[in-house]
A and B are shown apart, each in its own frame.
Chain A
């Protein structure tokens, strides 16, 4: 019995030293964010101020919304390359609705109020996502290909809808009762930009959905092993369809926030944003193979990218260097993912050995 005590102690000590590394690894997105804030605050006096943080946060809102939607898809082992285009399509759709829809045959013009516009736009985003989802889940088109196709189709549709032009008059007319669109991007509630609040509401709902509902559990199990999930009664195809719809709706919300922030809705908005969204998810430690990742870490990932990019702008680094930096951060993050997962494997092997020792110990004490 003394023998096994000794062993346990040895393991405990080892565990203690592993823990610090583990904390640093698991909280790496958080620590990276802190480092970014410290470094840029030292380099520029403007960086560390409430005003700047709020501005940067409203930039993050767009990436954050896309990233959360992307997280759902990536958790199931899929990918959604169409979110940038969906964002643009939904943005111009909202812009079009705000400028008024004329139905010539009836000689009528509709000016839907802002909340109707928001709901319809989200529905459009959901529809785009549903097409992706049906292709992936039921027609078994590889997610990469299906959503790559949608990347082109949605962008094309956005350009067609506007003839390549941009909607600039989104403010509405008090007489028509459709004012207030800027409120979404510009205004503040309790001192916080509304876009950021939208992001946090979406994040809280999604966090709850992933961690506390059967649906969330289905997503994680589908991404971890779809065959096993299916045999356990998980409606795998419906789960896959749903995550693309969620991603589409998130892209629509991001499109609304972006259009409102820019007070214009252009068909070329959000180009390559899908890649930024994927980067946010990956920096947040999610596995592209599916099954691993959280909303909190994805948000941190989005903040890392946003605060880094804005910081580089503030200290006057050229746009070209910004791309080099962002790219390096993404690759470094994925490298750390691998380190973390291999460390986990090792620690689980350690756990197995510990269990073995315990078994042996109990066997010895039984005899």
Chain B
């Protein structure tokens, strides 16, 4: 996407943040943040988890108030004490977790809380439906206003949420990680909508962990680190390296395939695996897939949403059963083992969604870490707290979890550290094979590098590692072998020297310009 620098310079500033500071008790979450939002352009906030992006967003959208500094909206200093006050001034935030009611239709969601009435308090459904239809057409997503939101794909739901914001005459739209749950085509649609919004003069503040994607769409970049703004520049002046450099403060590398040791024999062997689609009878989400992974080898599976990666990994871990084919672990057929038996045999899964499938929020950090290996510290039927503490401490140490100790609440950790807890839990079972579904999802670049380092270390000790990713840059980091998965099959296999374009072409993805 080419950007005309002259228009960037010419666009008027609609909102300026001036010396914004935020303190929580003794903690300074934001210090002297200054930046401008231009009319009809996209400003992206970059930063690791905990850099202060969300805090800044919450201040701009009225969820919390700043400790010092001012917000200047079209030349006037404004302050708002609630999100509805911010909305009245035309600033709307769309959170990562959408705030739609799935049981209601598109029309009712768009007008939720602001129902149009025709005298006497009865709702004017007709007028609502007309306006809803108009809005959806404007956004090039002609969804019928009476469609239930739960029947829509996540991408479509997002557009409904945008329609709702537009119906409130929002001039500034804040989007927090809007693409994290979208497929590649849905991202494309969303970006088209964003382009439309820009043409209409709507300004957008965009937050994403997906740096490459954000670079496609943004006009300005603001980079935060440890609560301070480290850089600010228009799109034409920057590239990926520039962002990463300012985010982490140092030159940065996801690592390279570990070498200098012999890989062992085949640890995991998947043979002619078929997994049926539970939504469409007679269709397969994974078809005739075979894969051998040797001890000490790191294999990366790249693929788009819907390629069948998650289904494959969940089947290998034992959550679902294959329709046919075999799964061999160290030459033993484990097809008929349940999850617990596979863990015991040395095959473990780190699931994609750590909140939903990885962590038990009511247990402490330590008890989450020890959950998969309780029997290791059980003596005569009773758990030994000293043995358990020993195990927890060594796990915290081994996977470098930043925490106050095993007793800390799991919710007190950052996303990256939570991910390390899930990985640490599985590594504590002393597995031979670890499979990880999108291990870098929703964690910052620094934590990502640490996770990859852990996996390399594991591989050196003879661990077979399989991980999936939807970021091409990760395929070029530690894996010894890159497989591309598309429509339930492995469509290509590459060695480390491969280029990004080759991988993306094999996945059926159009190469982004």
**Which A residues lie at the B interface, using CB under 8 A?**
7, 10-11, 14, 208, 212-214, 217-218, 220-221, 223-225, 227-235, 287, 290-292, 344-345, 348-357, 359-360
Check B26 against A212 for contact (C-beta < 8 Å).
Answer: no
6 further interface pairs, Cβ-Cβ under 8 Å (given A225-B359, A351-B412)? A7-B27, A213-B383, A221-B371, A290-B362, A351-B404, A352-B414
Inter-chain contacts of B357 with A (CB < 8 A): 225, 227-228, 231
> Once the chains bind, are B383 and A212 in contact (CB under 8 Å)?
yes
Residues A231 and B339 in contact, CB atoms below 8 Å apart = yes
A-contacting residues, B163-200, CB 8 Å: none
**A221 vs B358: C-alpha distance in the bound complex, in angstroms?**
11
Contacting residue for A233 out of B24, B344, B363, CB 8 A:
B344
Name the B residues within 8 Å of A351 (CB-CB).
Answer: 404, 408-409, 412
Q: What are 18 sample pairs from A and B whose C-beta atoms fall under 8 A apart?
A: A7-B26, A212-B383, A213-B382, A214-B374, A214-B375, A220-B362, A230-B319, A231-B317, A231-B351, A231-B358, A232-B343, A287-B362, A291-B360, A348-B408, A349-B412, A353-B26, A355-B404, A359-B402
Cβ-neighbour of B27 out of A212, A233, A292, A356 (below 8 A)? A356
B408 and chain A: residue at smallest CB distance: A351
Interface residues of B in 298-349 (CB under 8 A from A): 317, 319, 338-340, 343-344, 349
**For B351, what are the chain A residues with a Cβ–Cβ distance below 8 Å?**
228, 231
B209 interface hit (Cβ, 8 Å) = no
CB nearest neighbor in B for A14: B25
- Which single member of A230, A292, A348, A354 contacts B362 (CB below 8 Å)? A292
Given contacts A231-B339, A355-B403, A360-B226, contact A217 B367 (CB under 8 A): yes
Q: How far is the CA of A350 from the CA of B360 in the complex (A)?
A: 20
Residue B411 at the chain A interface, CB threshold 8 Å? yes
- Contact call B361/A344, Cβ cutoff below 8 A: no
Give the complex CA separation of A269 and B357 in angstroms: 43
Q: A212 contacts which chain B residues (CB < 8 A)?
A: 382-383
Q: Taking the complex as formed, is B378 at the interface, i.e. its CB lies under 8 A from any CB of chain A?
A: yes
Please tell me if B114 contacts chain A, counting CB pairs below 8 Å. Answer: no
Give bound CA distance, A214 to B379, whole Å. 10
In whole angstroms, what is the CA distance A231 to B354 when docked?
A: 11
B294 contacts chain A at the CB level, 8 A cutoff: no
B372 at the A/B interface (Cβ < 8 Å)? yes
B381 at the interface (CB under 8 A from A): yes
Which chain B residues numbered 379 to 429 have a C-beta less than 8 Å away from chain A? 381-383, 402-404, 408-409, 411-414, 425, 429
Number of A-B contacts (CB under 8 A): 114
Cross-chain contact of A228 among B27, B360, B411 (Cβ < 8 A): B360
Top 8 A-B residue pairs of the complex, sorted by shortest distance between their CB atoms: A291-B362, A224-B362, A224-B360, A233-B340, A348-B409, A348-B412, A232-B372, A353-B27
Report how far A234 CA is from B349 CA in the complex, Å.
14
Q: Which of A217, A221, A232 lies at the interface centre, i.e. has the most chain B CB atoms within 10 A of its CB?
A: A232
For residue B338, which residues in chain A have a CB less than 8 angstroms away from its CB?
235
**Nearest Cβ in chain A — how far from B33, in angstroms?**
17
A354–B409 Cα distance when bound, in Å, is 13
Q: Measured between C-beta atoms, what is the minimum distance from B109 to chain A in Å?
A: 26
Q: Say yes or no: is B50 at the interface (Cβ < 8 Å to chain A).
A: yes
Flag whether B356 is at the interface (Cβ < 8 A): yes
A212 to B339, CA, bound (A): 23
**Which residues of chain B come closer than 8 Å to A349, judged between CB atoms?**
24, 412
Question: What's the Cα separation between A229 and B362 when bound, in Å?
Answer: 12
CB-CB under 8 A from B317, the residues of chain A are 231
A124 to chain B, nearest CB (A): 27
Residues of A within 8 A of B413 (CB): 352
CB < 8 Å neighbour of B371 from A213, A229, A287 = A229
Interchain CB contact under 8 A, A355 and B402:
yes
Q: A292-B362, A351-B408 are known contacts. Are A232 and B425 too (CB-CB below 8 A)?
A: yes
The answer to whether A233 and B412 touch (CB under 8 A), given A225-B360, A357-B26, is no
Report chain A residues within 8 Å CB of B374. 214, 217-218
With a cutoff of 8 Å between Cβ atoms, the chain B residues found around residue A231 in the complex are 317, 319, 339, 349, 351, 357-358
Q: Chain B contacts of A11 at CB under 8 A?
A: 25-26
Q: Which of A228, A287, A360 contacts B358 (CB 8 A)?
A: A228
Specify which of B26, B226, B356, B425 is in contact with A10 (CB 8 Å cutoff): B26
A258 to chain B, nearest CB (A): 32
List B contacts of A221 (CB < 8 A): 360, 363, 367, 371
B412 lies within 8 A of A352 (CB)? yes
Given known A-B contacts A214-B378, A217-B371, A231-B319, A345 and B361 have beta carbons under 8 A apart:
no
Q: Report whether B362 and A223 are in contact in the complex, using a CB–CB cutoff of 8 Å.
A: yes
Chain B residues with CB below 8 A from A356, complex form = 27, 50
Smallest Cβ distance from B378 to chain A, in angstroms? 5
CA distance A138 to B340 in the complex (A): 18
Shortest Cβ distance from B388 into chain A, in angstroms? 10
Residues of A within 8 A of B383 (CB): 212-214, 217
Q: In the complex, A213→B383 CA distance in Å?
A: 5
Residues from chain B with a CB closer than 8 A to the CB of A355 are 402-404, 412
Given contacts A213-B381, A220-B363, contact A235 B403 (CB under 8 A): no
Distance in angstroms between the alpha carbons of A353 and B412 in the assembled complex: 9
Cβ B382 vs Cβ A353 within 8 A: no
Q: Which chain A residue shows the least CB distance to B384?
A: A212
Given known pairs A351-B408, A352-B414, A356-B50, the reply for A228 and B359 (CB within 8 Å) is yes
A367 to B409, CA, bound (A): 30
Q: Which residues of A contact B363 (CB under 8 A)?
A: 220-221, 224, 291
A360 to B26, CA, bound (A): 13
Q: Give B409's nearest chain A residue, CB to CB.
A: A348
What is the distance, in angstroms, from B340's C-beta to the closest C-beta of chain A? 4
CA distance A352 to B49 in the complex (A): 13
- Bound Cα distance from A230 to B338, whole angstroms: 10
In the assembled complex, which residues on chain A have CB atoms less than 8 Å from the CB atom of B361? 224-225, 291
Which residues from B are CB-within-8-Å of A7? 26-27
Q: Given the complex, which residues of A lie within 8 Å of B27, measured CB to CB?
A: 7, 353, 356-357
For B381, the chain A residues whose CB sits under 8 A away are 213
Chain B residues with Cβ below 8 Å from A353 are 24-27
Measured CB to CB, the nearest residue on chain A to B367 is A217
CA distance A358 to B403 in the complex (A): 10
A227: chain B residues at CB < 8 Å are 356-357
A161 to B381, CA, bound (A): 40
CA distance A11 to B413 in the complex (A): 18
Q: Report the minimal beta-carbon distance from A14 to chain B, rounded to whole angstroms.
A: 7
Closest residue of chain A to B359 (Cβ to Cβ) is: A228
Interface centre among A11, A229, A231, A351 (most CB of B within 10 A): A231
Identify the closest chain A residue to B353 (Cβ).
Answer: A227
User: A233 to chain B: which residues have CB within 8 Å?
Assistant: 339-340, 343-344, 372, 429
Residues of A within 8 A of B429 (CB): 233
In Å, the complex CA distance between A350 and B343 comes to 36
Count chain B CB atoms within 10 A of each CB in A213, A233, A349 and give the residue with the most: A233
Q: How far is the CA of A10 from the CA of B23 in the complex (A)?
A: 14
Contact with A348, one of B50, B358, B411 (Cβ below 8 angstroms): B411
Residues of B within 8 A of A232 (CB): 343, 371-372, 425
Which residue of chain A has its CB nearest to the CB of B29? A353
Q: Bound state CA distance, A230 and B357, in angstroms?
A: 9
Complex interface: chain A residues within 8 A of B226 (CB): 360
Residues of B within 8 A of A235 (CB): 338, 340
Given A214-B375, A224-B361, A225-B361, is A230 in contact with B26 using a C-beta cutoff of 8 Å? no
